[in-house]
Chains A and B, each alone.
Chain A
Amino acid sequence: MSQSSKLRASNRLISDVRLSLRRAASHKGVQRIAALTTLTIREALRSRVLLGMTLLMCLFGAASLFWPADLDRERVILVQRLCYLTLTFFGVIAAAFLGGSALPREISSKRIYSVATKPVSRLEMLLGKSLGLIGVMCLFLILGGMVTFIVTHIASARKTYQGGSYTLEVIAPSAQIRPDDEGKPVPVEKGETLAADGERGHSYDVTIARRDTTIVGTIPKAAVKLHERSLKLQRVAGAEEVSSRCTGRSVVSRNELLLTATEVARNDVWWFDVAELDLPRSGRDTDVRLRFWGLRHEPIRGNRAQRERPHVEFLFQDPATQEEVRKEIDFSLQEPKTPSLSGSSRPADQYEAVFTLPHSLFAGGKFTARIVDYTPKYPARGRIFYSRTKSPTWRISRFDTGGLPRGAQTIQIRFLVHYTKGLDLIDHTQVTAEIRNPATGKSQQFPLHLRDRTTSYLHFPRHLVDARQGVELTISGLRRYHSIGHYSKESPVYLLLAPGSFWASTARSLFLILLYLSLFTVLAVAASTFLSPPVAILLTLTVVLAGLVKDFLLQTRTPAELESPALLARQMGTVLEQLGVWVKYFLIKLLTLLGPGFEPFSSTAFVRRGWAVPWSAVYGATFYALLYMLVCFSFGFLLFRSREFE
């Protein structure tokens, strides 16, 4: 083809596309597209594939009720996740089959003759078909949303803790228990002696409240001192356990800095408020314990003693005096089989180091810590610092609320508590959180349930939050073995499934799924413009699978493999093993680079944690969906406009 003919062809293509767009955007064009869309919906609703997928979706959605879950809140979240998963799975199959076969069926049955010979452009035909199938996906999701609603409703109604009054039997050495005759919670002071009353426990009335999807239980009539003793709370009026047992020794350690979770990088800086750490004002240096959890990213070799310990070099700095202290800290392995904090099934190692913090560093009230080096074999992936306080009250004098999402009715803050008790973990502990707005003087107290290494959430009523000034937050009722902290580096506040936001979040989740299904519908339609139906369906499902594989790789990849293969290979010893590491590294890297990413369309990350799906996720997913759909649609249109209907 000569240069001039190529130019002519491209000019013709541009003018054709421009004309098609102008026609489609006209009033009559919209009417035609609407007619084709309606027809497509009516036809697709008769599809047996859609019927089958809908039935399976309903069946599996209902079956999610029978999935085992330990806690009520977890059950509701689990049911929701399973419903969303079911919707996505069967929806994407329906989208692939309907999208991949709609146009070819029209062509093979020659019904296209009666449409293509009318004043309908190819663009309008493709648009009508795509929009119609997206409309079908909408209907599918509306039905799925109803199933989700019913199933979630049933799941939330099947709570272990039903509202109302129950009788609790406290089984514990009576010396530890002090009944309260007035029916109010009685805090137990340190060292307080309780009256001995035999070995048998006492019965108390307990009020358990239901709040939307969460259950909040209080034990108002039992005050318990936990010290080298055990306690078990059981529901008598019912067979299930209400609370959990507390056993083990209380090990009190002071001034712990806890470092956990993901993504530590060199030069990351953390701020510490001395007031939160409860450091002594006596002008003496003090010992500080730093804890670190890390995922085990290296092959397990040898025994514990042979395994390399993390070595982190910190640079502490007082911003007021600019005084710097450089500390090289070697961590010792504490708990080799601690469950991972990031939700992964791989075990996490816990390391601990104790070092002396010079008083001069924290005399100014605050100091910073900066990681300047660490042993890369253990890529410390963490961004959460927890400060520990020895007093039963933890006060955050100025909790910054400047970054709170606007328009939210209820805002929640994420806490994480750690108990430094002995071998057994304490499960639930209730403390009291008081939120006070210094500007208005209003304050309110809330019960806060803490669970070891599990995020707890606190509702921030809107009327208490002043975005300009921040609030005072006081956590009281802490035990000596509690270490409590909150997100201090990144966005500290998350919008959760607070009362009133549940259905909004569900709607957003469904919208994300709709975007996901729409994307694959358009992809299938685009593929069917040049491929036979089976191949178009297969291609679509392959892309879905590739996205899932990429997600899987991103979730399960080890940072060592992806970030420092050379180091890991060096550690591996033999050439063959080194080669294996490199091959694996490049393979995983390649797959994660080339694989299609559909993370923006997943609400799982939010639902799993019980967070509300934020608007930012919706905006992001909409942007990506429109972008992907535009690319797929344009490609499909360019091929379809030159397709002959023989």
Chain B
Amino acid sequence: MNAEPVIETHDLTKVYSGFMKPDVLALDRLTMQVGRGEVFGLLGPNGSGKTTTTKLLLGLIFPTAGSATVLGAPAGDIAAKARIGFLPEESYLYRFLNAEETLDFYGRIFSIPREKRRRRVGELIDLVGLQHARKRALRGYSKGMSRRIGIAQALINDPELIFLDEPTSGLDPIGRQEVKELILRLKGLGKTVMLCTHLLPDVQDVCDRVAILNNGRLCEQGSLDELLMLKERTELTVDGLTEKQQERLRKLLTDMGHDEVRMIHPYDTLSSLFMRIIESERQRVETAKQQPEHVSKQ
């Protein structure tokens, strides 16, 4: 990581202790850095310490040992929080408010001027695709809609650093794709995104670097390229080869000393297939809509 660190932890440790309860080591001497402009993935199974790390960095809980800085200030610093956006694991919002009121409330918390707040609320509602439900109370939202409004509230202050805890949970494939595109767009705007998830395909699609936690300990950390590249293996993809060409190629490689050669027809991902179908259906509907206009003009 060459960029200026936005998040830095040093031997960050958290032990949960309670009255008449055994102590639980949730995070064990975590040392890591997240650079500016990165999309950083925090991976691990349930109970690995991802959420604990996020809570420590946001000042919701306090470390037992070690230290953490976020945007150059100690974790939990109030001034630094003005430049942070956070999407919790579930959208814990006020269900009696509607989308506009929710975003307006968080805008007021950030002391955004009224006019700018109003504009920003409109933009974000458009961004997350909740125009049709902007006046509906959140108690009437589906899980996916709640997730979208949660994402919008995390972006209300145009943050430099965004914590996204399981951002795609509860979303349909289109929503997941949109969130991934949003993350990439945020990255393009120079924002730093910290992504906590155990949905590995999502991480692979958007993250630059990842850290893998297990039982509160950091197991692996680095860029995706570094971590995923299998240097001892090479994959070759070409346009469809005939049987004869495949035989010749296999023979050539065997002669070069490569004993393990596999030739397969690759499969498309279900996600891509789904997206293709939905997109073609959308185009068909739009075409059908345009058809009567065309006829009437004639």
Residues of chain A at the chain B interface (Cβ within 8 Å): 23, 28, 31-32, 34-36, 39, 42-43, 46, 109-121, 642, 644-646
Contacts and interface: CB of A to CB of B under 8 A. Distances in A.
Given A111-B93, A113-B86, A119 B61 contact: no
B60 A32 contact: no
Q: Top 5 nearest A-B pairs by Cβ distance?
A: A35-B108, A28-B111, A119-B82, A110-B92, A117-B86
B106 interface: yes
Contacts of A117: 58-60, 81, 84, 86, 163
B81 to A, nearest CB: 4
A113 B90 CA distance: 10
Interface string B91-116: 01110110000000110111100000
A26 B60 CA distance: 23
Given A32-B108, A35-B109, A644-B61, A118 B96 contact: no
14 contacts: A31-B111, A35-B108, A39-B105, A43-B96, A46-B96, A112-B92, A113-B86, A116-B58, A116-B60, A117-B60, A117-B163, A119-B82, A119-B110, A645-B55
A118 B110 CA distance: 7
Contacts of A110: 88, 90, 92
Contact of B78 (A23, A39, A46, A115): A23
B62 interface: yes
A110 B60 CA distance: 11
B79 interface: yes
Given A118-B82, A644-B61, 12 more contacts: A35-B109, A36-B109, A110-B88, A111-B94, A113-B92, A114-B92, A118-B81, A118-B109, A119-B79, A120-B109, A644-B60, A646-B60
A42 B84 CA distance: 27
Given A644-B62, A645-B60, A646-B16, A32 B111 contact: yes
A4 to B, nearest CB: 19
Interface string B74-85: 000011011010
A110 B163 CA distance: 16
A39 B92 contact: no
A114 B153 contact: yes
Given A23-B78, A28-B111, A119-B82, A114 B106 contact: yes
B86 A115 contact: no
Nearest to A23: B78
Which of B79, B84, B110, B163 has the most CB atoms of chain A within a 10 A radius of its CB? B110
Interface of B: 16, 55, 58-62, 78-79, 81-82, 84, 86, 88, 90, 92-94, 96-97, 105-106, 108-111, 153, 163
A644 B60 CA distance: 6
Nearest to B91: A114
Nearest to B82: A119
A470 to B, nearest CB: 59
B130 to A, nearest CB: 17
Nearest to A19: B78
B81 A119 contact: yes
Nearest to A646: B61
Nearest to A26: B111
Contacts of A116: 58-60
Contacts of A46: 96
A118 B106 contact: yes
Given A113-B86, A646-B16, A119 B92 contact: no
Contacts of A31: 108, 111
Contacts of B62: 642, 644
Given A32-B111, A39-B105, A111 B92 contact: yes
A269 to B, nearest CB: 63
B88 A114 contact: yes
A116 B60 CA distance: 7
Contacts of B153: 114
A23 B78 CA distance: 10
A369 B105 CA distance: 71
Nearest to A111: B92
A72 to B, nearest CB: 47
A141 B280 CA distance: 62
Contacts of B96: 42-43, 46
A36 B105 CA distance: 8
B60 A43 contact: no
A109 B82 contact: no
